[in-house]
Every structure is written in structure tokens, then in C-alpha cells.
């Protein structure tokens, strides 16, 4: 039955009931309506309107449910679907909406996978160029400064030593940026060693990082290890730059048939602010490997949890 037919039948039923009441009840209206008759007519009209409103509310309830889901759905939190009840145009509309969400989530996952793959490839290229080109050039400059400083007179030698120190600091900074862009330790030594090195790097930057990395963890795919590393890196970066935290806990352990990463700081928390590009980027990465991500502010600070199930293909 179409939506138009349902609404028409509901209204017709209300009008028919009112006509039957007028025909087969002793209710009459004088040529000049009395007060009692006017009250009866107004009460009957109010009852008709209330009955009509209730019936229409019941008939249009599926559309109201669909509207609520449409205003709250988020493609970064997939799986939201509306239950199909009954038949007719409303049920067909709900089915079409659920199918549209399936297509949108699949297309977003595909496009996000391509974008993140291209991003990782670009990071790899930039890190390689920083290490091979700029790093080698600065190393050559550093050696030349040392050679000149060894034969220069004392006043010039001090200035060359300062330039040598500045060049060495720049070289260390470039190497640090290259390591962040391309986590070579992740490819060479594995996830546990990469997280320990990441915690040590942020600890030397003025942030106290307490790490608890399990030694006997299930084997993860290469894509899953990269996602875990990037989420930990983003969590530590947010704690250092935005949360004004002093202490961060970094935990990686086996839990509930998978591996769980937890990054918890003692900073100022989210404070009801909308999610930024960093958190949405973490959600997109988690979706690519079928992992669950939660970002909460339990009292003080922020807690990022990533649960990676075992055996889910990337």
C-alpha cells in the first residue's frame, strides 16, 4: 500500500466514524446552536483531530526513524543501518537508503585506501630524498667545515666550530624527520621495537612516555603494523602539541582475540571540541584493516584505543 493510500484511508476512516456518530446517535444541532451543542461539536472536532494526529504519527513513524538516522550517520563509524519493517513505499525507501550506505562506505574505504597508499609512498620518497640527497650534502659540508676549521686561525676557527655545530644539528633534525616519514625500524626490527623507539624519541622531546609493549604478541600483517604505528605516532603527537600533557602511557598488548594499542595522556582532554583531521585520519586508517578505534576523555586527559582483530584481511 502506498503512503498516499495509507494517509487517505486513515483520514477517510476518521471522517466516516464522525458521520456515523452523527447519524446514529441522538446528537443534533438546532438552527441556532446552543452552548451545549457547540461544546459537543467542538469536543467531537478535537477528538477527530487527536485521532487523526495519532494515526498519522503511527503511519509516518518509519520516515521519522529514517530522518534521525540520516542526520546522525557517519561513514567513519560504519554499520549504521535502519531495520526494515512492513512493506510499501516507506520500506522500499529504507531499503534504498541502506543500500546507498553500503555503496558509500565501500567507495569511501576504497578511496581512503588509495589515498593513504599514495601518502605512504610519497612519505617514503621524501624520506629517501632527505636521507640520500640533503643528508649526504650536509655531511659533506660538515666534513669540509671540519677540514677548514683544523687549519684556520683561532678567531675564524671558533666561528667555523659554531657553523659546524649548527650544521650537525640540522643534519640530526633531517634524520629525525626522515625517520618519522619512513619508519625504517618498523620494517627492519618489527612493531614492538618501532614503538619503543617512538616512545624514546618523544621522551627526549620533553614528554615523559611510559611504555608497556608486550613481548609475545600475535603476528600482524604489514598493513596492520603500519596502522598501529601511525595511530601511536599521531596520539603522541597530539599529546605533545595540543593536549599540553606531561605524561603519556603507551601500551600494546594482546586482548580479546586481537592486539590493543592504548595511548593515554594527562593533558587537557578534548573538551567537547570537534574531531580534527588527525583523529579522522586515525579512524580512516583503522577502517582499512577492520580495527575499532575509540577516542575519549575519561575525566582528565585523552585516551586513544585501537583494537586490531587477528585474522581480518586488510
One domain for residues 197 and 254: yes
Using CA atoms, how far apart are residues 198 and 267, in angstroms rounded to an integer?
Answer: 19
Query: In this structure, is residue 30 part of a structural domain?
Result: yes
**DSSP alpha helix (H) spans, the chain:** 3-24, 35-59, 61-72, 89-129, 135-151, 154-181, 184-189, 191-203, 222-241, 277-288
Give yes or no: residues 128 and 169 share one domain: yes
Q: Is residue 90 part of a domain?
A: yes
Q: Which of 163, 181, 199 corresponds to the end of one domain?
A: 181
Structural domain contains residue 269: yes
Q: Is 293 exposed, middle or buried (0-12, 13-18, 19+ CB in 10 A)?
A: buried
Based on the fold, state whether residues 247 and 298 are members of the same structural domain. Answer: yes
Domain shared by 176 and 265, yes or no: no
Domain-located, residue 113 = no
* 298 in the same domain as 240: yes
Q: What is the CATH number of the domain that holds 237?
A: 3.30.565.10
Q: In this model, does residue 314 exceed pLDDT 50?
A: no
Given this model, what pLDDT does residue 10 score?
76
Task: For residues 240 and 303, state if they share a domain.
Answer: yes
| Same domain membership, residue 57 and residue 135 | no
| Mean pLDDT, rounded, for 117-124 | 78
Containing structural domain, residue 151: 120-181
Per-residue pLDDT of 81-112, as tens digits, reads 877 776 777 778 888 888 888 888 788 777 77
- Give the predicted TM-score (pTM) of the model: 0.62
Within-domain flag for 143: yes
The total domain count for the chain is 3
In a domain, residue 114? The reply is no
50 and 151 belong to one structural domain: no
Residues 37 and 139 in one domain: no
Confidence of residue 140 (pLDDT cuts 50, 70, 90): confident
Same domain as 134, residue 41: no
Query: How do residues 164-176 score in pLDDT, each as one tens digit?
Result: 888 888 888 887 7
Tell me, yes or no, whether 93 lies in a domain: yes
233-262 tens-digit pLDDT: 888 888 888 777 888 999 998 887 788 999
State whether 215 and 280 are in the same domain: yes
49 inside domain:
yes
Amino acid at each position: 500500500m502506498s503512503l498516499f493510500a495509507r494517509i487517505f484511508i486513515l483520514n477517510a476512516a476518521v471522517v466516516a466514524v464522525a458521520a456515523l456518530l452523527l447519524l446514529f446517535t441522538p446528537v443534533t444541532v438546532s438552527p441556532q446552536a446552543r452552548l451545549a451543542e457547540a461544546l459537543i461539536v467542538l469536543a467531537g472536532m478535537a477528538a477527530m483531530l487527536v485521532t487523526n494526529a495519532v494515526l498519522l504519527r503511527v503511519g509516518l513513524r518509519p520516515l521519522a526513524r529514517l530522518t534521525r538516522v540520516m542526520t546522525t550517520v557517519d561513514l567513519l563509524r560504519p554499520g549504521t543501518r535502519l531495520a526494515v519493517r512492513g512493506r510499501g513505499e516507506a520500506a522500499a525507501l529504507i531499503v534504498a537508503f541502506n543500500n546507498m550506505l553500503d555503496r558509500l562506505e565501500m567507495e569511501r574505504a576504497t578511496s581512503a585506501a588509495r589515498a593513504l597508499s599514495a601518502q605512504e609512498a610519497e612519505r617514503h620518497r621524501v624520506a629517501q630524498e632527505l636521507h640520500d640527497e640533503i643528508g649526504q650534502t650536509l655531511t659533506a659540508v660538515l666534513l669540509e667545515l671540519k677540514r677548514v676549521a683544523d687549519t684556520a686561525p683561532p678567531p675564524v676557527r671558533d666561528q667555523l666550530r659554531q657553523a659546524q655545530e649548527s650544521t650537525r644539528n640540522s643534519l640530526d633534525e633531517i634524520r629525525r624527520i626522515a625517520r618519522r616519514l619512513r619508519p625504517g625500524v618498523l620494517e627492519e626490527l618489527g612493531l614492538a621495537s618501532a614503538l619503543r623507539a617512538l616512545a624514546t624519541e618523544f621522551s627526549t622531546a620533553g614528554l615523559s612516555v611510559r611504555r608497556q609493549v608486550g613481548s609475545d604478541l600475535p603476528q600482524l600483517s604489514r598493513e596492520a603494523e603500519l596502522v598501529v604505528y601511525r595511530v601511536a605516532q599521531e596520539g603522541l603527537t597530539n599529546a605533545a602539541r595540543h593536549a599540553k600533557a606531561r605524561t603519556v602511557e603507551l601500551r600494546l598488548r594482546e586482548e580479546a582475540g586481537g592486539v590493543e594499542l592504548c595511548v593515554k595522556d594527562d593533558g587537557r582532554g578534548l573538551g567537547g571540541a570537534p574531531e580534527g583531521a588527525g583523529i579522522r585520519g586515525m579512524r580512516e586508517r583503522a577502517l582499512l584493516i577492520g580495527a575499532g578505534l575509540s577516542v575519549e576523555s575519561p575525566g582528565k586527559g585523552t585516551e586513544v584505543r585501537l583494537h586490531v582483530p587477528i585474522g581480518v584481511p586488510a
